[in-house]
């Protein structure tokens, strides 16, 4: 398999360069990439130091590294563009055509993408994260009337990170409730969930994957045994079908994909788009 090094470079957090870069490079499945993220390259001196690293990488690999950058300062860009690398300058690629179409000059402001917004979306995001943390693992079922969605599933199937992602990225108030053996014994919904059946969305997972995850937490216990995991997954999927609860298998999907699918199937509108 071919191997290449990809540098994601920014004068800010590097989130935009990394997200776009990984999305593009994911299309090349036959190439193994080593990702290197370099945020806050905001001076010529930092760029010159990084230039040495990039050129040394080119010599080591025997092939040009890739650079995907969101640097706005032209002097810093000139340093990076003198490197022995293949370069994709995100801002110049997209801003120049937009300037022509909009008949307006870009501000080329450093850190503009991820700055704290002046509207209420930032507060909404933080409030949603607090809600997800307060309502994690069935901690406060009395707040379910305020939830946009309630994720349910067996322990360690991915409920908590999915709730936090939806809160942080979309401002969604997401709670989660872990099914126990007692909950699944008679295939009835727990009392705390019955009034909010319309808000429920289930997660399931491959039993072998679940056993591996639980083994890291509690090795050698009944909780992490494959037999127990197979039983719990089977019973929770039967519960979903019995109560017509939509669910998705989290085994092979990223948190981003799971979250987007949940919002689409539940008809939940994002309060804002991810930054």
Report pLDDT for 15: 81
- Listing DSSP states for 109-134 in one string gives -TT-TTSPPSSTHHHHHHHHHHHHHH
Which residue in the block uniquely carries the two structure tokens 């905001």? 42
Q: Are residues 21 and 145 in the same domain?
A: no
Q: At what angle do helices 74-81 and 44-61 cross, to 10 degrees?
A: 20
φ, ψ of residue 256 in degrees (nearest 5):
-60, -45
Mean pLDDT (whole number) for 220-239: 94
46 annotated ligand-binding residue: no
Q: What is the pTM of this model?
A: 0.66
Pick from 14-28, 51-65, 108-122, 130-144: least confident: 108-122
**What confidence tens digit (pLDDT) does each residue in 158-215 have?**
999 999 999 988 999 999 999 987 777 677 899 999 999 999 999 999 999 999 999 9
Please enumerate in sequence order all residues whose Cβ is within 8 A of that of 230, keeping only pairs 6 or more positions apart, or say none.
207
Q: Give a yes or no: residue 98 inside a domain.
A: yes
Mean pLDDT estimate for the chain: 89
Q: Cβ(176)–Cβ(160) under 8 Å?
A: yes
30 is in an annotated binding site: no
pLDDT over 60 (residue 30): yes
**Residue 251 known to bind ligand:** no
154 marked as binding residue: yes
Same domain membership, residue 12 and residue 88: yes
We report the CATH number of the domain holding residue 256 as: 3.40.50
158 assigned ligand-binding residue = yes
Lowest mean pLDDT among 151-155, 156-160, 228-232, 269-273: 269-273
Q: Which residue has the tokens 């319309």?
A: 198
191 is in an annotated binding site: no
**Coil vs helix vs strand at 233:** helix
Q: Is 21 annotated as a binding residue?
A: no
What tens digit of pLDDT does each residue of 105-163 get?
Answer: 776 555 555 445 555 677 788 889 899 999 998 878 999 999 999 999 999 999 999 99
Backbone angles phi, psi at 120, to 5 degrees: -85, 0
DSSP three-state, residue 49: helix
- 248 annotated ligand-binding residue: no
38 is a domain residue? yes
pLDDT computed for residue 181 by the predictor:
78
Same domain, residue pair 249 and 125: yes
């Amino acid at each position: 398999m071919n191997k290449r090094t990809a540098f994601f470079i920014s004068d800010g957090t590097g989130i935009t360069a990394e997200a776009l870069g990984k999305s593009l490079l994911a299309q090349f499945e036959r190439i193994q990439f080593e990702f290197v993220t370099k945020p806050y390259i905001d001076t010529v001196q930092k760029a010159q130091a990084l230039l040495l690293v990039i050129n040394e990488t080119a010599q080591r690999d025997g092939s040009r590294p890739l650079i995907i950058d969101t640097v706005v300062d032209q002097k810093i860009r000139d340093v990076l563009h003198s490197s022995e690398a293949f370069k994709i300058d995100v801002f110049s690629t997209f801003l120049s055509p937009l300037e022509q179409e909009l008949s307006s000059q870009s501000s080329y402001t450093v850190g503009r993408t991820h700055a704290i917004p002046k509207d209420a979306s930032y507060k909404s995001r933080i409030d949603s994260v607090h809600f997800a943390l307060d309502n994690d693992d069935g901690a406060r079922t009395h707040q379910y009337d305020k939830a946009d969605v309630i994720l349910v599933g067996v322990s360690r199937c991915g409920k908590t990170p999915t709730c936090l992602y939806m809160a942080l990225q979309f401002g969604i108030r997401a709670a989660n409730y872990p099914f126990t053996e007692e909950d699944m014994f008679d295939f009835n919904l727990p009392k705390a969930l019955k009034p909010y059946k319309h808000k429920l969305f289930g997660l399931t997972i491959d039993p072998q994957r679940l056993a591996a995850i639980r083994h890291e937490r509690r090795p050698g216990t009944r909780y992490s045994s494959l037999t127990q995991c197979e039983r719990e997954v089977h019973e929770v999927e039967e519960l979903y079908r019995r109560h017509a609860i939509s669910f998705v298998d989290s085994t092979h999907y990223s948190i981003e994909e799971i979250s987007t699918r949940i919002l689409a199937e539940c008809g939940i509108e994002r309060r804002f788009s991810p930054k």
